[in-house]
Chain A
């Protein structure tokens, strides 16, 4: 079309716009607009307004709206314009509706009738206006009222191509609003759109199929074949009408759409078809990667190339094509154009999450690390995402160093994300406890308040749960507090650690309790009150461990008991009373050591999970979840791994009482305190299937269990130890959060257990997938007074292990295989200080009790070594596991 001088023939509008443009300040603009709004409002009251005038005023409203002012009238006039017989008036009416009408607006119902009329009109220009409107603001109500008419337009043979493609997209919008409009019998019809002669119709059809297939890919499987064909004809044969050639390329958008569609549809098992697709992709890699000087052509080429890369990664089947991907991405990464670097980093992240072996990507590590310092934040972010995916034990140290460099210069928006990622990497890939703790301290120091709460809280959890890092943690905490500057978050962390573990380093005169106190005192006055509160708690703990320091500490409590902050005041006053009481029983109870944290929950990992969601494709997350234990909420802590962890905790807590009691579980136990119940429980999960689960003066519960992974059955026997009856006896399985373990009571007790009588109950269980928490049974009964017990059932993951010894000579090889894919975990468990070592046979029993098959056992002077293997059998998965356990008789 020849260019023309476009004249706006609404004079009043032009004048109005000119006026506004000439306004010197926003005050004038606002005044002018308010005057105009008042004017239009009064005009609209005049019922004799003709179509042209209405159009003009509605158009003015639209202009005001574009400037960002709210428009709360004119809707009615716009709806009237919709019904006009003049195209230009109708057009403005539609423009107003689609810009200003919110889909939640009540008026939508009013306009639906007009739209329907226009959809059914014999004038195509009217059809188009209505279709634009449906496609742009279609709502669930419109889906119900209009989807049939839209489909008629789409399917009718008399519909012109330019109406058809709009109908396809309008249907897409309606489907997005209400997927119920989709009926299975529609699929074939929709797939035939791909055979249309008009490439525009094919492009729109592609979008429609891709959207519908997203949630229903199998139904659209038949579209795969034509999609490959069109792609081949387009790209390899160059079969494309002249008007669809865009800068020498046959319709690049259609190519991209088809490549996207092929990632959604299930690939059929058809070698000829696959060859055709491979040939097309190869053609793209060799012909579309040629550099060209025209920006448009270069962009269009690369749109196709990178979509081809996505498809190859998605298929992940042809090594030679994957190789081409590596090549392409490598070249783009070092390309001078920054857009290429961005897209290349993004594609590499997708690749890193999809392939097992990331060696080819790691080759570019120096460039990627360099990108971390690019001055464009977009690039930095992409590089960070990629590095996070690539990092493992071997690279964690240099990577974290590099990330620290970035942290000190990063802008606020990136700091939070960065600090979470450093924290997770340090925890996930740490090889040395000391390195971990110093890294985290430094992180908290540098990020301070930009690091979310979860970061420092997580450090406290890990230190509490791991004896071997408590001493270095306390040392580091002290030395940070000795600096004159200590950011508030770090101060919180340090105070927390010193309060809890400061006594571990107090024997050294350089780090004595008094020195620690000095260090804390130098900061307490200057920090915010939330931090002061933690300092006060640390002081209180010092009062309990070092009573000599009370004369120094009590005045501090005294001082803060008159603090302005109410919370602080109350805390200080309570502490003062506690600490000055000559009887220290209460104080000591309050200051007892922190109990171990539940290992399986780290809020930090959840956070990473969320940020993953936002940075990556849904497919990528699926892949990532499948082999990176990070985002599914399970902590893969380097200090204790889950398999060994259970052994460890049982050694720690159960062993003192059970060293001699393996064979005498039935001995009577005094009134069941909770620790005692824990010991009994630990025994049941580690060594035996039968034993006492709970006992007090009234009731004794013993259990017999049998596991045939992935199923298990438990018989609970309740013994009433009293002479009176236990009435209303009821037990229920606590509504259990994990969907991975199904536990039901299959046979219940009668309701009353008479004096000295027993009752039995059968519980069956089935493990679908990895689970971490044992189910609990809640028992209530009445023995004069109502009572409730919540008892953990001895159902743990290791109960679903089956011993499967492998040959000792194969052991090393298998281990190496798993290590390669980063599935190795190491941890050290201390058995506690001052306790004589366990008997080797006892350890042996525990290992067997956890379902390991022992492949080899070697005894040396100082150590004993077990090589074990087993299979975890669950309904949904079976995992082979191997374990190497070294046991030192003496402290090392």
Chain B
């Protein structure tokens, strides 16, 4: 079930987040992201969530103004991939509290961290609902503590 890449883009085709699990040059990445976005945006609402792009299959889902597109092998399980996307959205929803595109723009690094808890090496790493968020919460605590220290040091304490 190896995922090759995951791209989040807006209705205007602006890339919001892109994660690559295969080695590609920056040029290829930009080209792929652009072409996949165009391909998906060109499809109508009632069409299926799978579309072939070069030698991969793109499984995509739309949430409000944001599209999530995942590139997988041709023989990969489409439905399972669809639900990986949904799981990612659920995690972000829980974390941000009713997630919207702006959350992902302003906290793009956190969106990457959440993804890291869900998918690494193109494989699903955590399938339990609670576990991944526990990890993130812990990370945030660390950050908060460090943030307070920083604030204090800035005021000369």
Contacts and interface: CB of A to CB of B under 8 A. Distances in A.
Most buried by A among B108, B109, B143: B109
B121 A135 contact: yes
A839 to B, nearest CB: 58
Given A257-B1, A378-B50, A6 B78 contact: no
Contacts of A131: 120
Given A173-B121, A343-B78, A87 B108 contact: no
A109 B108 CA distance: 27
A1 B108 CA distance: 20
Interface in B41-79: 43-44, 46-52, 55, 74-75, 77-79
A200 B1 contact: no
12 contacts: A6-B95, A6-B110, A68-B15, A95-B112, A136-B116, A207-B124, A244-B127, A246-B127, A252-B83, A306-B79, A342-B48, A618-B75
Most buried by B among A8, A21, A52, A253: A253
The size bracket of the interface on A is 35 or more
A835 interface: no
Contact of A207 (B1, B46, B134, B137): B1
Interface in A198-221: 199-200, 203-204, 207, 211
Contact of B48 (A166, A296, A378): A378
Contacts of A339: 48-50, 78-79, 82
A170 B135 contact: no
B47 A378 contact: yes
Interface in B1-36: 1-2, 14-19, 21, 23, 25-26, 30, 33
Interface in A438-472: none
A103 interface: yes
A813 B53 CA distance: 48
A168 B118 CA distance: 14
B120 to A, nearest CB: 4
B77 A307 contact: yes
Contacts of B1: 207, 253, 256-257, 260
B156 interface: no
Nearest to B133: A1
Contacts of A169: 120-121, 123, 125
Given A3-B97, A62-B108, 15 more contacts: A63-B108, A87-B143, A99-B19, A99-B112, A125-B139, A135-B120, A136-B21, A173-B120, A251-B127, A253-B84, A307-B80, A339-B50, A376-B47, A378-B47, A614-B74
The size bracket of the interface on B is 35 or more
A268 to B, nearest CB: 24
A464 to B, nearest CB: 35
A528 B94 CA distance: 63
Contact of A342 (B78, B120, B124, B135): B78
Most buried by A among B14, B75, B98: B75
A19 to B, nearest CB: 12
User: Lowest 8 A-B CB distances belong to which pairs?
Assistant: A3-B97, A303-B79, A303-B80, A135-B121, A135-B120, A376-B47, A617-B75, A87-B142
Interface string B129-140: 111011101110
Interface in A1-43: 1, 3-6, 8-9, 14, 17, 21
Nearest to B95: A6
A204 B125 CA distance: 6
B27 to A, nearest CB: 9
A237 interface: no
B138 to A, nearest CB: 7
Contacts, number: 203
A67 to B, nearest CB: 7
B105 interface: yes
B10 to A, nearest CB: 12
A243 B129 contact: yes
Contact of B128 (A9, A95, A244): A244
Given A87-B142, A169-B123, A300 B51 contact: no
Given A88-B142, A131-B120, A102 B128 contact: no
A1 B131 CA distance: 10
Interface of B: 1-2, 14-19, 21, 23, 25-26, 30, 33, 43-44, 46-52, 55, 74-75, 77-80, 82-84, 86-87, 94-98, 103, 105-110, 112-113, 116, 120-121, 123-131, 133-135, 137-139, 142-143, 146-147, 150
B108 A66 contact: yes
Interface of A: 1, 3-6, 8-9, 14, 17, 21, 52, 59, 62-63, 66-68, 70, 86-89, 91-92, 95, 99, 102-104, 125, 128, 131-132, 135-136, 138, 162, 165-166, 169-170, 172-173, 199-200, 203-204, 207, 211, 241, 243-244, 246, 251-254, 256-257, 260, 296, 299-300, 302-303, 306-307, 338-339, 341-343, 375-379, 381, 614-618
B131 A200 contact: yes
Contacts of A341: 48
B96 A3 contact: yes
Contacts of B127: 199-200, 203, 244, 246, 251, 253-254
Contacts of A99: 19, 112
A664 to B, nearest CB: 61
Most buried by A among B16, B17, B150: B150
A172 B109 contact: no
Contacts of A377: 51
Contacts of A87: 139, 142-143, 146
Contacts of B44: 375-376
B134 A1 contact: yes
Contacts of A91: 109, 113, 139, 143
Contacts of B94: 1, 3
A170 B120 contact: yes
A343 B79 contact: yes
A207 B123 contact: yes
Contacts of B126: 162, 165, 200
Contacts of B150: 52
Nearest to B27: A70
A4 B133 CA distance: 12
A321 to B, nearest CB: 19
B130 A252 contact: no
Nearest to A305: B79
A234 to B, nearest CB: 12
Given A136-B21, A203-B124, A246 B74 contact: no
Contacts of B112: 95, 99
Given A243-B129, A244-B128, A8 B142 contact: no
A697 B124 CA distance: 77
A66 B47 contact: no
B48 A66 contact: no
A616 B52 CA distance: 12
Contacts of B124: 203-204, 207, 253
A87 B146 CA distance: 8
B83 A246 contact: yes
Contacts of B33: 68
B131 A162 contact: yes
Most buried by A among B26, B43, B44, B120: B120
Contacts of B55: 614
A1 B83 contact: no
A260 B123 CA distance: 13
A260 to B, nearest CB: 7
B31 to A, nearest CB: 11
Contact of A136 (B86, B113, B120, B133): B120
Contact of B77 (A135, A256, A376): A256
Most buried by A among B15, B74, B125, B147: B125
